[in-house]
Amino acid sequence: MSVWGWCQYGTPAELPNINNKKKYDVAAEDPPTWRIGCIFTASKHRGQGVARAAVKAALDAIARAGGGIVEAYPEQTAERPPQRGAYLHTGPEALYEQFGFVRDRKIAKWRWVMRADVTATAPVRRR
């Protein structure tokens, strides 16, 4: 069995460390309910929607857990020179835009805080 990919998410208490934390803290006003820390797709499976499926599953789980403000810290890829061998462990902005995330503030040359308000849904009952 091989891993195709995953998405790390949790509360700020569970994921207290983020890149560029000093700059993040300067303009932090309203703390998020949840954070998406990083995503990973195995190299053999990139370009097949694995990261998208992982982020969607995380957002679905967040919705079932009560929803709230979710932050992610993706890399800006538009208007940026190509990055040879780049490893986008936080994902590209365009991925999060598909789920309604919007830029909140810049925390590094090519990194933004993006936020979305995820509506709570009823937990799925299993028989």
Q: What are the pLDDT digits (tens) for 10-25?
A: 999 999 988 888 888 8
Q: What are the pLDDT digits (tens) for 66-92?
A: 999 999 999 888 887 656 555 568 888
Residue 29 DSSP code: -
Residue 86: per-residue pLDDT: 56
H/E segment holding residue 41? strand 34-41
Look at 25 and 58; give whichever has higher pLDDT. 58
Q: Is residue 113 exposed (0-12), middle (13-18) or buried (19+ Cβ within 10 Å)?
A: buried
What is the model's pTM?
Answer: 0.88
Q: Look over the chain and give the mean of its residue pLDDT values, rounded to a whole number.
A: 88
Neighbour count for residue 27 (Cβ, 10 Å): 11
